[in-house]
A and B are shown apart, each in its own frame.
Chain A
Amino acid sequence: MSDTKDQFRPDDHENDHFLLTTVVGSYPKPKWLNRARELYEDPDADFDEDNWQEAKDDAARVITDEHERAGLDAVVDGEMRRNEMVEFFAHRIEGYEFNGPVKVWGHNYFDKPSVVSDVEYTDSWLVDEYEFTASATDRPVKVPITGPYTLASWSFNEAYDDDEELAYALAELVNEEIEKLVDAGARYIQIDEPALATTPDDHAIVGEALERIVADVPEDVRIGLHVCYGDYSRIYPEILEFPVDELDLELANGDYEQLDVFKDPEFTKDLALGVVDVHVAEVESVEQIEENIKNGLEIVPPEQLVVSPDCGLKLLPRDVAYGKMENMVQAARNVEKALDEGEIDVDRTAAPADD
């Protein structure tokens, strides 16, 4: 059983039980940061690289602080320096090139990059981001990294025989990056693999890529895997074999309809349960979130439960994103207290099949 969770328990934590609260990563950017980007991209504006860097630093500080104020136990900078989850990394990996925007849906496009030669690691991708965020807060900082399977799947592959081979090559680079992050002090790393939802039959490739990612990573470093918006029955229980401490799953959006998938066989990892829906722009009540958290206790004991939104919060209005985090933390503390006082039955003995 993973024991990497307790290192994130705050010294002054008020309850005996500890449900680690965190976020998946992305957060709405302050409007002024988007304005600053426009200025930076406008050749006629008097806004240079230093100004742009300063704006991103300011935003990272503000959002890290916002996470702290919401009471999260492990914070992120809201990915203020990242534009998109594949583009950001592709710009930093040798072997990628950009050929222009492609459609995702309607008039939503992204600069889908092409891998045109062997991918290589040059400068670190996230160490500066991590060090800055860590210096801006006393709380533990979680580092989300787009996983190699998603980096491969959401790129054009011109250079490798197939996406599997490309994913493994990228996994080696992610491994190198994680080593650098760990050297810099990072203890909580989350690999994001949303592409697994598109092609669940490829779970073995994701598993093999993860083996390469975690090679030689110290045991006290917590590695999570975030997956969202898929048919989990097609990847469970296979994902229990993955070499990670925590599986971070979106479940609130589907109103926990897929909860039973995880009851058999027993969930042996830590479960980071999505307890607020990021596709609904209303803040769930504390009571509602408490009920959502209790769903997680049907799957794992409190020691294995982590509480988080379904997915990145970046598409929500900022005040709604904040409200969701704040209520989520409050709900987690309430559930911890109720657990301490024995008010919640955590006996997960399977109900009779004919109930």
Chain B
Amino acid sequence: MTEYVSTTPGLFPLPDWAKDDLSDLKGHQKHDLIGGDEGEEITDVYQQAREEVVELQHEAGLDRVVEGQLRWDDMLAHPLAVHDSVETRGIVRYYDNNNFYREPVVQDDLGFSGDVASELEAATELTDEGDDLQAVLPGPYSLADLATDEHYGDEADFLEAIADFLAGEVEGFPDHETLFLLEPSLVESAPGDGLDERASEAIDAVASATDADVVVQPYWGALEEKVYAHLLDADVDAVGYDFVADQDDNLYNIQEYGSKGDVSLGLADGQNTLVEDPEALRDRAEWVFERLPVSEFETVYLTTNTETFYLPYGKFEEKLAVLAEAAELAEVTPA
């Protein structure tokens, strides 16, 4: 019997009141962005906002609850942007979006930070002993891709260092049910020969740092065949597929190379205000499974394809409710 799990890849939009309050408290410039050493007033606003989004997820009925990553001013680059061994420089474009982050430049050994762990500690207190808590991190390949290395010197060494760093962070996490590793760079700047294999090994290294189920979620398209084949070698529980951006190639990859025992389907559009019907999402999941030779997945995660900070808050709230409802529908009338 397949279990349907409604969830999200995190990186939520801030509630509108928090956008205002934090704009006032922090400012609008590059040097005003989060540094990991924010004072009590700012910490309080984030805590309030965190409480709000955790409650929102519970109310919506999502099966996994994320912390929301509301402090991640630099999006997926956040874990490095707040690191002591990293200098943040100019504002650079975040993939092909009209969004920008500070370029993190690694200048020294990447030791343990604990920044993300402390966010998760705060979230744990808001959930039922953390039993539905989902941790979210950039995958090592994407984090390395978003950063600049001025310390390790070699592409392979840098990727390995990033993987070790992330694994260390994960070891510091409180108990969590699931870990999502977001890997858009595997699609957007696909690793070439050799690097594709190392990217998979790097993911493996991070995944092995937790007992939780690990989902690797690439997005903004489908993986190149070789990249995909290597990714399947990583010891993770599920791979995610962005069925909003690309149905055919994702389907082809699964048909051709298989998948993991669990699967994550990015079915709701994290970058469009059009709110899907729960039935439509259920049908899209069904459409995928009908086209697979053997489709007995143990767990199916239903999620937005991308992070959700692109959305206005109200639409984001609606999307969460739809995901929860779609998972329930799918469970009642499985594909």
Residues of A participating in the B interface, judged by any CB pair closer than 8 Å:
99-109, 112, 114, 153-154, 156-158, 195, 198-199
Q: Is the CB of A198 within 8 A of B93?
A: yes
| Chain A residues, CB < 8 A from B27 | 107
Complex alpha-carbon distance, A198 and B271, angstroms? 16
Let me know if A107 and B23 touch, CB within 8 A.
yes
- Residues of chain B within 8 A (CB-CB) of A112 are 312
What is the CA–CA distance of A147 and B131 in the complex, to the nearest angstrom? 50
B104 contacts partner chain A, Cβ-Cβ < 8 Å = no
Sample (12) of A-B pairs whose CB atoms are under 8 Å apart: A101-B19, A102-B310, A103-B99, A104-B98, A105-B99, A107-B19, A107-B27, A107-B73, A154-B98, A157-B272, A158-B273, A195-B98
Contacting pair B28 A107 (CB below 8 A)? yes
Does A101 lie within 8 Å of B16, measured CB to CB?
yes
8 additional A-B residue pairs with CB within 8 Å, beyond A102-B312, A154-B98: A99-B273, A100-B315, A102-B310, A104-B99, A105-B91, A106-B32, A156-B272, A195-B98
Q: Are A104 and B100 in contact (CB-based, < 8 A)?
A: yes
Across the interface, which residues of A come within 8 angstroms of B23, CB to CB? Answer: 107, 109
- Judge whether B274 and A100 touch: CB under 8 Å: no
CA distance A112 to B272 in the complex (A): 11
Q: CB distance B19 to A105 under 8 Å?
A: no
For B30, B93, B273, which residue has the most chain A Cβ atoms within 10 angstroms? B273
Residues of A within 8 A of B97 (CB): 198
- CA–CA, A213 to B1, complex, Å? 57
* A156: contacting residue among B22, B94, B96, B273, CB under 8 A: B273
Q: For the complex, what is the distance from the CA of A108 to the CA of B101, rounded to whole Å?
A: 12
Complex alpha-carbon distance, A281 and B112, angstroms: 39
B85-115 residues with Cβ-Cβ distance < 8 A to A are 91, 93-94, 96-101
> Contacts A99-B312, A104-B98, A198-B98 given: A156-B274 contact, CB under 8 Å?
yes
Is B10 on the interface with A (CB-CB < 8 A)? no
The answer, yes or no, to whether B261 is at the interface (CB within 8 Å) is no
Q: How far is the CB of B217 from chain A (nearest CB, A)?
A: 20
A199 to B188, CA, bound (A): 13
B333 at interface by CB-CB < 8 Å: no
B32 touches A102 (CB 8 A): no
Q: Is B192 an interface residue (CB 8 A)?
A: no
- CB of A106 within 8 A of CB of B30, answer yes
Tell me which residues across on chain A come within 8 A of B309, comparing CB atoms.
102-103
Q: Which residues on the B side are within 8 Å of A199 (C-beta)?
A: 96
Q: Are A99 and B99 in contact (CB under 8 A)?
A: no
| CA of A198 to CA of B29, assembled, Å | 22
CB closest residue in chain B, given A153: B98
Q: Which residues of A contact B33 (CB under 8 A)?
A: 106
For A107, list chain B residues within 8 Å (CB). Answer: 19, 22-23, 26-28, 32, 73
Question: 3 smallest A-B Cβ distances: which pairs?
Answer: A100-B312, A105-B100, A158-B274
- Establish whether residues A108 and B272, one from each chain, have CB atoms under 8 Å apart when the complex forms: no
Contact A109–B273 (Cβ < 8 Å): no
CB of A103 within 8 A of CB of B274, answer no
A108→B28 contact, CB < 8 A: yes
Q: Encode B160-177 as 1/0 by CB contact (under 8 A) with A.
A: 000000000000000000
Q: Tell me the B296-317 residues at the A interface (CB within 8 Å).
A: 309-315
Contact of A100 with B26 at beta-carbon distance under 8 Å, contacts A105-B101, A157-B272, A199-B96 already known = no
Q: Which residue of A lies closest to B21 (CB)?
A: A107
- Shortest Cβ distance from residue A52 to the other chain B in the assembled complex, whole angstroms: 22
Q: How far is the CA of A199 from the CA of B99 in the complex (A)?
A: 13
Q: Which of A99, A104, A154 has the most CB of B within 10 A?
A: A99
Cβ contact within 8 Å between B314 and A100: yes
Residue of chain B at shortest CB distance from A195? B98
For the complex, what is the distance from the CA of A233 to the CA of B28, rounded to whole Å?
A: 32
Asked if A198 and B22 make an inter-chain contact with CB atoms under 8 angstroms apart, the answer reads: no
Give the CA-CA distance A156 to B308 in the complex, in Å.
13
Nearest CB of A to B183, in Å: 21
Query: Is B140 an interface residue, CB under 8 A from the partner?
Result: no
Instruction: Report A-chain residues with C-beta under 8 Å of the C-beta of B28.
Output: 106-108
Distance, CA A349 to CA B56, complexed state (A): 66
Q: How far is the CA of A213 from the CA of B312 in the complex (A)?
A: 31
Which of B30, B98, B101, B313 interacts with A100 by CB under 8 Å? B313
Interface string of B270-307 (1 = CB under 8 A from A): 01111000000000000000000000000000000000
In the complex, residue of chain A having the shortest beta-carbon distance to the beta carbon of B94: A105
Interface contact B272-A109, CB-CB below 8 Å: no
| A158–B312 CA distance with the chains assembled, in angstroms | 14
Once the chains are docked, how many angstroms separate the CA of A284 from the CA of B99?
Answer: 29
Q: How far is the CA of A201 from the CA of B108 in the complex (A)?
A: 37
Q: Mark B11-45, 1 if CB is under 8 A from A, else 0.
A: 00110100100110011111011000000000000
CB of B28, distance to nearest CB on chain A (Å): 6
Nearest chain-B residue to A114 (Cβ)?
B273
Q: Roughly how many angstroms separate A6 CA and B24 CA in the complex, as a whole number?
A: 49
Pick the residue among B19, B271, B315 that contacts A109 (CB under 8 A).
B19
Residues on A with C-beta less than 8 A from B91 are 105
B96 touches A103 (CB 8 A): no
Chain B residue at minimal CB-CB distance from A154: B98
List the B residue with the shortest CB-CB distance to A157.
B272
Instruction: Give B95's nearest chain A residue, CB to CB.
Output: A198
